[in-house]
Amino acid sequence: MSDDPRTLDPDYDSHGGFPNFEPATPGPGFGRFLTAMRRAQDLAVSAAPDAGTWDRAADLAESLVDLLAPSEAGEGVGPANRVPSLPGAGSLLMPPYRVTEFTADGVELQVQFSRFSVGGNHAVHGGVLPLLFDSVFGMVIHATGRPISRTAFLHVDYRKVTPIDTVLTARGWLREAQGRKAFVNAELRNPDGDLLAEANGLMIRLLPGQP
């Protein structure tokens, strides 16, 4: 009997709200938009202008909302998270990263946090790192050829302060597989190779018909 769940359920790829993502080619304007939006995010948490400037900024932000709102689409339709050539694959949810290794032996990213992710004292907020590690876990699942899985648990150990404005290396790998279970590990290091944080988790393969 085949271990591929698609033999039992042809719609498996779309379960749990997971569309079948295909790379998008939105054109250079989208890359410019992402760059500007990332800078706007940084300024939104760091700027301290006068009240009148905030009023003008609000007007411009509302104008942007009015411009984009008519084009709002379902998940997997817009280019966000579907442009591998752009930092963070084109997703503002993630810190800008670039994949440097994607094999069954492991996944490696170059990632750089900015002011938007600061929790205090110019250090990355501790809650941001589980988001990064969870995404790395998902990449590991894809890189190893395992079917769509959900995170059952994710544990993070913080070893050193994670800095902003520094190119860091995140790496993830499959430690062990047991049927539907995939035990994964990940780590984040600075340019000197120092361990900043490490994570371990469990990814569970979805059953046919399971959301």
The whole-number average pLDDT for the span 94-111 is: 97
Residue 194, pLDDT above cutoff 60:
yes
- Token pair listed for 75: 């998940």
Where residue 1 falls among pLDDT bands split at 50, 70, 90?
A: very low
Task: Write the CA distances from 77 to 20, 38, 81, integer angstroms.
Answer: 10, 21, 10
Where residue 67 falls among pLDDT bands split at 50, 70, 90?
A: very high
Interior angle at CA 103, CA 125 and CA 135, nearest 5:
25
**Contact criterion met (CB below 8 Å) for 163 and 183:** no
Q: What is the pLDDT at residue 206?
A: 85
Tell me the pLDDT tens digit for each residue of 104-158. 999 999 999 999 999 999 999 999 999 999 999 999 999 998 888 999 999 999 9
Residue 71, pLDDT above cutoff 70:
yes
Q: What are the structural domains of the chain? A: 5-205 (3.10.129.10)
172, exposed or middle or buried, with CB in 10 Å at 0-12, 13-18, 19+?
Answer: buried
Q: What is the pLDDT at residue 6?
A: 65
Residue 65, pLDDT above cutoff 60:
yes
